[in-house]
Amino acid sequence: DDVDIYDAGTDSWSSTSLTVPRTLVAATAVGDLALFAGGIGATGATDVIDVFDTQTMTLGPTASLSQARFGVAATTVGNKALFAGGSISGGGGVQATVDVYDASLGAPDDPLAWSVESLSLARSDITAVTVGDLAIFAGGNGPQGVPYDRVDIYDGSTGLWSQATLSVARTLGADAAAA
């Protein structure tokens, strides 16, 4: 449940604890907020989203994913934080769910700031990156751990989804965006 925090302004470190100890947590930042979503703890997958406010340096009210899951991919495009795919514990399989938090619509604990989208294929262990206005979700594991070559692309400026194909099916890859 430990989170180490680096403050570039003061060149110093501090720490805090998530409300639910867990691994395989998805994290992304939108505005002044860092969001830590899902994961798997002692009792299985969780839907908890811990919210850390970088202005007050405090862990604030929590929010919830639409369903408890781990192995979720997270990235931010504009004012929107996206949490895609993942697995449900207890043999529930992989998911296509994408929870979208739109910071321009309210605080993370405001249900009206959230919506649910869907990937073109259910999968977990997806790689996520943002390039310009595009949130890109690549590869991942499908049912029975079969790697996929699918890429789902969310255009933050239009709200539309498109698909592409990787040169090779893969899971737990690495992404980078360059200017």
**Tally of CB atoms within 10 A around 38:** 28
- Per-residue pLDDT at 46 exceeds 90: yes
pLDDT score, position 143:
83
pLDDT score, position 175:
64
**Could you tell me what percent of the chain has a pLDDT over 70?**
94
For residue 47, give Cα distances in angstroms to 2, 63, 83, 117, 121.
Answer: 18, 8, 11, 16, 21
The answer to whether 155 and 117 are in contact (CB under 8 A) is no
Q: Which residue has the tokens 């539309």?
A: 160
Question: What mean pLDDT comes out for the span 18-26?
Answer: 92
Instruction: Please state, in angstroms and rounded to a whole number, the distance separating the CA atoms of residues 62 and 64.
Output: 7
Q: Is the dihedral of CA 108, 109, 115, 119 positive or negative?
A: positive
The pLDDT-based confidence of 2 (bands split at 50, 70, 90) is: confident
Gyration radius (Cα) of the chain, Å: 16
pLDDT score, position 9:
86
For residue 140, give Cα distances in angstroms to 38, 145, 164.
Answer: 17, 9, 14
Question: What mean pLDDT comes out for the span 160-176?
Answer: 84
